[in-house]
Amino acid sequence: MLLSFSEKQIGALLPAFLHIDKQLNISAMGPGILRHLPHVRIGMPCAEAFNIVNYDTAQFLQEGVNVQPVSLIARDIDVHLSGAAIFHEAGCLLAVRFAITEEMFADSSMDLSDFGHADPVILSTMLIVLQRAMLEESQANAIELAHARQRSTDLLERTSRVAGYMAHDFNNLLSVIRLNTDRLSRQFGKDEKIGKLVEIIQEMAARGSEITQSLMTLSLQRTDMRQPLSVDQVIHDNMGILDSVVGPNISLKLTLNANDRKCVVSYSDFLNALINLLINAREAMPMGGQIALSSSVGVGLIKGDGDTDADMAQSDSYIAIQIADTGVGMSDALLSRAFEPQFSSKPNGTGLGLASVRNFAVETGGDVWLESAEGKGTTAYLHLPILKTVAPLVAVSSAVAHAGASDALGKKRILLVEDEPYALEALVEMLEAEGYAVTPCASGEEALIALGQDAYDVLLTDVVMPGQNGTEVARDACIAQPSIKVILMSGYVPDSAALQPGWLFLHKPMESAKLLQLISA
Amino acid sequence: MYGMIHRAMRQMVHEELGEEAWLALEQKLEIGPTELLTGMVYDDALTLEIVSEAAARLNLSVDQTLEAFGQYWVRFAGQGSLSSIMKFTGQNLASFIANLDRLHLAVGSAMPGARLPAFATLESAPGHLVVEYRSDRVGLEPFVKGLLQGLMDRFHACGEIHVVHRGEKSILFDIRYQDKD
Ligand code: HEM
């Protein structure tokens, strides 16, 4: 089949084509050649305008047959053409195209019209340029998204901080209301009408307190408090939950011998630690087995690694909780990594369970570790300091500290620090009515002076105060008077890093009864 | 439409009214960076919402805004990383328009799912073009008019653009122009 096309049609397909006649002169050319090589004219010998790469131009054109690949270079302009030479009886059609690179896109005088419609090189080069442009924009997208996320995190943080401050201030107000209604009740509670009014106010204050609790939960503030808790009691009270954690295939055997000794812990943190240890034991026994949960009182070093840390050397009495399973056990390699935050030996494990148990144990002044024999099972040891024996971190001898704290009449001495005057007044009155000798201070600085002048059994201090804050006062008090009992009161639960083991914490607004219980505990 | 178009719209509002105006628009439409992802295809309804919200802020009608955006798009594409491909598409008004489909052919391969228009030059004489625009979208006549105006600006030409025929899926534009310089 012979197809014949006009010059114009060939020019549309191959804008840079050339036709060379038998005399080796240019007899036709495409519009691209006209535009970009204006010195090339019809009738001109091809060899005058072009060199054929690797060949003698005249010889190539004379001797060629059929179809051959060809590359041309224009003689006096830096233009390359490549394609095929098609030989026929009337001469040779140079079906060539301009060679173009991506870089030439930007500064070449050529444009799409100089290339054939179906030119794949042009299409793919354009594609590359477009994709590069999209990639650049996508990088900008990614940065914008990251900024947007940062902004919303910042906003959330700011909002939650403000919510936290508001809840804290509101708690302080509720605290004053609470303490003063207790006062009213003590003094005039016998009058039925007043008693009723006091009840109403107290109930409203309690509701207000629930609102602040929710606000604090929302603002990601911790709302639980550290308090002396009987380990055995907590385990006993939660048997239902603990049983369901281990599941039906595993029997949970309890041996509670801590004799109701207490540790200062947050209820929920302690329970979570137990649950995490039980989950760990359960996971080691996919086919079922037995877990023995026991508690006892231990004496000696609290730490598992025998680290004779000076801090802990005095904590000679602790509650030892053991959770022993009859599971697969752990290799030394697993054991050494079990408490790493992101570590999990299970494919779907989050790896957070044991790490949080360790945080809890360390914050409480205790320790946790595992011992295991492959094929026999693993035992988790959780040691927590017993309330009475928790000693302050650094014992500095002080004349005052040795002098004995109780006053001449044998009353317990309380150093009370509270910057809110109405709360201070109400607390002083209440504590004195209960028979304590109270030294009131309106600031941390006043308290430090008082600590230098007298010995105290108890430091009862607000946490958030201008100047010296409550945890700083408590730290100094423990140094000056190592046997002092520290009770912190706040709407906030302070950062646990700022707390020392054994310090008690009371959430505001507090009930007088709860406070008195802590003081006398 | 592709997020790339939304980004150009944002750029136009930035330049005309400032960043605050765009942020207010985002807030009103409850959109953000996730609606401006270059390589994402969004529902045309969202694109139109953005245009009409921008119109309200620019104190223009939606059609006027579409036209302004068409004109702006040519400038937008003429800068930055798309500039080389714009240059390569054509170096005068007639050849650029003649090559638009080839440009969009490459766009179509780089951006799957794009619904691209077709342009054909029905008449071409010095200073005069009749251009047919075909699309399966409706309502973009002012946008195309703006684009053609933008192209005249690009090639330093001035003149007039009139719609001479509106078919079911096509619109004929008559462009009479002369070079400014
Ligand atoms: C580098 C330059 C260009 C790029 C990357 C580009 C890309 C695009 C993209 C992504 C769309 C949207 C398709 C969709 O999301 O469904 C589009 C639509 C469109 N483009 Fe372009 N374009 C460019 C230049 C132009 C120019 C200069 C014109 C001038 C006439 C033009 C006319 C249009 C029209 C009229 C539409 C609307 C589609 C329709 O009618 O359905 N484009 N283009």
Shortest CA gap B143–chain A (Å): 22
pLDDT score at A152: 85
Residue A400 tokens read as: 């005052």
Q: Mean pLDDT highest for which of A54-58, A349-353, A373-377?
A: A54-58
Provide the pLDDT confidence category of residue A362 given band limits of 50, 70 and 90.
confident
Axis-axis angle for helices A120-188, A192-218 (nearest 10) = 160
Which single residue is written with the structure tokens 């409706």?
A: B138
Residue A268 lies in a domain: yes
| CA atoms within 13 A of residue A450's CA, in its CB half-sphere | 23
Shortest CA gap A124–chain B (Å): 8
The contacts of residue A99 (CB under 8 Å, 6+ apart) are A80, A81, A82
Q: Write the residue with the smallest CA distance to atom 31 of ligand 1.
A: B147
Axis-axis angle for helices B3-17, B44-58 (nearest 10) = 10
B169 Cβ inside 6 Å of ligand 1: no
Q: How far apart are the first and last CA of chain A?
A: 111
**CA dihedral for A290, A275, A366, A233, sign (positive or negative):** negative
Does B164 contact chain A (CB < 8 Å)? no
Q: How many CB atoms lie within 10 A of CB B166?
A: 9
- Minimum-distance CB partner of B98 among A113, A127, A129: A113
Residue A403 tokens read as: 């002098």
Cα A40 from Cα A34, distance rounded (Å): 7
Q: Do residues A377 and A454 share a domain?
A: no
What CATH code is carried by the domain that includes residue A58?
A: 3.30.450.260
pLDDT score at A393: 33
Q: How many CB atoms lie within 10 A of CB A109?
A: 10
Cα A512 from Cα B14, distance rounded (Å): 61
Does A136 contact chain B (CB < 8 Å)? yes
Task: Mark which residues 81-110 of A lie under 8 Å from B by CB.
Answer: 105-106, 108-110
B147 Cβ inside 6 Å of ligand 1: yes
Residue spans per domain, chain B: 3-59, 83-179
Q: Do residues A179 and A202 share a domain?
A: yes
B42 Cβ inside 6 Å of ligand 1: no
DSSP state of A188: H
Mean pLDDT, range A257-276, rounded to an integer: 87
C-beta atoms of A141 and B85 within 8 A: no
pLDDT score at A242: 87
Angle at A54 between CA A50 and CA A60, to 5 degrees: 65
- Minimum-distance CB partner of B32 among A134, A138, A148: A148
Q: Do residues A186 and A320 share a domain?
A: no
**What spacing in Å lies between the alpha carbon of B104 and ligand 1's midpoint?**
7
Q: Do residues A331 and A446 share a domain?
A: no
> Measuring CA to CA, how many Å separate B90 from each of A34, A467, B77?
16, 73, 13
C-beta atoms of B88 and A133 within 8 A: no
Q: Which residues from A are below 8 Å from B84, CB to CB?
A: 105-106, 129
Taking the CA of residue B1 as reference, the ligand 1 atom at the shortest distance is 15
* Residue that wins the pLDDT comparison between A427 and A1: A427
Which single residue is written with the structure tokens 């003649």?
A: B98
User: Is the pLDDT at B178 greater than 90, yes or no?
Assistant: yes
Mean pLDDT, range A112-132, rounded to an integer: 90
Mean pLDDT, range A466-478, rounded to an integer: 91
Least confident residue range of A124-138, A188-202, A301-315, A493-507: A301-315
Q: Which residues from B are below 8 Å from A106, CB to CB?
A: 83-84, 87
Mean pLDDT, range A210-226, rounded to an integer: 70
C-beta atoms of B87 and A130 within 8 A: no
| Strand A91-98, strand B170-179: pairing | unpaired
Helices (H) and strands (E) in chain A, counts: 17, 18
Mutate to test the pocket of ligand 1, among B73, B83, B121 (most ligand atoms within 8 A of CB): B73
pLDDT score at A399: 36
pLDDT score at B4: 94
Q: What percent of chain B has pLDDT over 90?
A: 92
User: Is the pLDDT at A164 greater than 80, yes or no?
Assistant: no
- Minimum-distance CB partner of A111 among B33, B80, B91: B91
Q: Which of B105, B100, B142 is nearest to B119 (CA)?
A: B100
B106 Cβ inside 6 Å of ligand 1: no
Q: Which of A443, A449, A495 is nearest to A470 (CA)?
A: A443
Mean pLDDT, range A422-435, rounded to an integer: 90
> Measuring CA to CA, how many Å separate A145 from each of A13, A151, A351, B35, B50?
46, 10, 29, 10, 19
Mean pLDDT, range A246-256, rounded to an integer: 90
Residue A214 lies in a domain: yes
pLDDT score at B134: 97
**What spacing in Å lies between the alpha carbon of B116 and ligand 1's midpoint?**
6
B114 Cβ inside 6 Å of ligand 1: yes
Residue A508's SS3 state is coil
Q: What percent of chain A has pLDDT over 70?
A: 88
Give residue-wise pLDDT tens across range A88-121: 999 999 999 999 877 777 777 889 999 998 888 8
pLDDT score at A154: 82
Backbone phi, psi, residue A263, to 5°: -125, 155
Q: How many CB atoms lie within 10 A of CB A494?
A: 19
What CATH code is carried by the domain that includes residue A305?
A: 3.30.565.10
Q: What percent of chain A has pLDDT over 90?
A: 40
Cα A251 from Cα A253, distance rounded (Å): 6
- Please report which residue ranges of A374-415 form alpha helices under DSSP H: 399-402
User: Is the pLDDT at A228 greater than 70, yes or no?
Assistant: yes
Residue by residue, DSSP assigns B27-61 as HHHT--GGG--TT-B--HHHHHHHHHHHHHHHT--
Show which of A327, A358, A385 is a domain's final residue.
A385
Cα A250 from Cα A377, distance rounded (Å): 14
**A436 exposure class (CB count in 10 Å sphere: 0-12, 13-18, 19+):** buried
Provide the pLDDT confidence category of residue A268 given band limits of 50, 70 and 90.
confident
Task: Mark which residues 21-60 of B lie under 8 Å from A by CB.
Answer: 32-34, 36-39
Taking the CA atoms of chain B, what radius of gyration do you get in angstroms? 16
Minimal-distance CA residue of chain B relative to A147: B33
Give residue-wise pLDDT tens across range B82-115: 999 999 999 999 999 999 999 999 999 999 989 9
Cβ atoms A463, A490 nearer than 8 A: yes
Q: Do residues A480 and A432 share a domain?
A: yes
- Minimum-distance CB partner of B110 among A109, A112, A130: A130
Cα A56 from Cα A107, distance rounded (Å): 32
Give residue-wise pLDDT tens across range A2-53: 888 899 999 999 999 999 999 999 999 999 999 999 999 999 999 999 999 9
C-beta atoms of B85 and A105 within 8 A: yes
Domain count, chain A: 4
Q: Mean pLDDT highest for which of A197-206, A332-341, B154-163?
A: B154-163
Residue A391 lies in a domain: no
- Left (φ > 0), alpha (ψ -120 to 50) or beta: where does A55 sit? beta
Return the amino acid letter for B101: D
Domain extent for A203? 125-218
| A-interface mutation test, from B5, B38, B83, B104, most A Cβ less than 10 A away | B38
Q: Do residues A90 and A168 share a domain?
A: no
Beta strands in A178-241 (DSSP E): 226-230
Cβ atoms B13, B57 nearer than 8 A: yes
Backbone phi, psi, residue A86, to 5°: -110, 115
Cα A272 from Cα A126, distance rounded (Å): 60
Cβ atoms A402, A424 nearer than 8 A: no
Q: How many CB atoms lie within 10 A of CB A28?
A: 16
Does A127 contact chain B (CB < 8 Å)? yes
Taking the CA atoms of chain A, what radius of gyration do you get in angstroms? 43
> Measuring CA to CA, how many Å separate A360 from each of A276, A368, A382?
11, 9, 10
User: Is the pLDDT at B133 greater than 80, yes or no?
Assistant: yes
Angle at B157 between CA B153 and CA B161, to 5 degrees: 80
Cα A91 from Cα A176, distance rounded (Å): 109
pLDDT score at A207: 87
Mutate to test the pocket of ligand 1, among B104, B135, B141 (most ligand atoms within 8 A of CB): B104
User: Is the pLDDT at B53 greater than 90, yes or no?
Assistant: yes
Q: Which of A442, A434, A433, A476 is nearest to A456 (CA)?
A: A476
**CATH number given to B83-179:** 3.90.1520.10
pLDDT score at B159: 96
Cα B53 from Cα A332, distance rounded (Å): 65
pLDDT score at B122: 97
Residue B104 tokens read as: 């969009």
Residue A311 tokens read as: 């801090």
**What spacing in Å lies between the alpha carbon of B100 and ligand 1's midpoint?**
9
Show which of A83, A102, A118 is a domain's final residue.
A118
Provide the pLDDT confidence category of residue A265 given band limits of 50, 70 and 90.
confident
Q: Write the residue with the smallest CA distance to atom 5 of ligand 1.
A: B107
pLDDT score at A401: 39
Mean pLDDT, range A446-471, rounded to an integer: 91
pLDDT score at A33: 95
User: Is the pLDDT at A83 greater than 80, yes or no?
Assistant: yes
Four-point Cα dihedral A355, A356, A358, A362, nearest 10: 140
pLDDT score at A69: 95
Q: Do residues A340 and A414 share a domain?
A: no
pLDDT score at A148: 86
> If DSSP states are collapsed to H, E and C, what string results for A478-500?
HHHCCCCEEEEEECCCCCHHHCC
Q: Write the residue with the smallest CA distance to atom 33 of ligand 1.
A: B117
Q: Do residues A449 and A498 share a domain?
A: yes
CA A282 to chain centre: 27
Does A142 contact chain B (CB < 8 Å)? no
Provide the pLDDT confidence category of residue A354 given band limits of 50, 70 and 90.
confident
A-B C-beta contacts closer than 8 Å: 81
Q: Do residues A114 and A129 share a domain?
A: no
The whole-chain average pLDDT of chain A stands at: 84
Show which of A200, A218, A236 is a domain's final residue.
A218
User: Is the pLDDT at B54 greater than 80, yes or no?
Assistant: yes
DSSP run (H or E) holding A44: none
Q: Do residues A271 and A358 share a domain?
A: yes
Cβ atoms A321, A340 nearer than 8 A: no
**What spacing in Å lies between the alpha carbon of A144 and ligand 1's midpoint?**
24
Provide the pLDDT confidence category of residue A414 given band limits of 50, 70 and 90.
very high
Does B105 contact chain A (CB < 8 Å)? yes
Provide the pLDDT confidence category of residue B171 given band limits of 50, 70 and 90.
very high
| A-interface mutation test, from B4, B31, B38, B88, most A Cβ less than 10 A away | B88
Cα A118 from Cα A122, distance rounded (Å): 9
Residue A1 lies in a domain: no
Q: Do residues A210 and A274 share a domain?
A: no
pTM of the entire predicted model: 0.62
Least confident residue range of A186-190, A317-321, A366-370, B113-117: A186-190
C-beta atoms of B88 and A105 within 8 A: yes
Cβ atoms A376, A509 nearer than 8 A: no
Mean pLDDT, range B137-151, rounded to an integer: 97
Does A145 contact chain B (CB < 8 Å)? yes
Shortest CA gap B104–chain A (Å): 10
Q: Do residues A380 and A231 share a domain?
A: yes
Residue A95 tokens read as: 């079906």
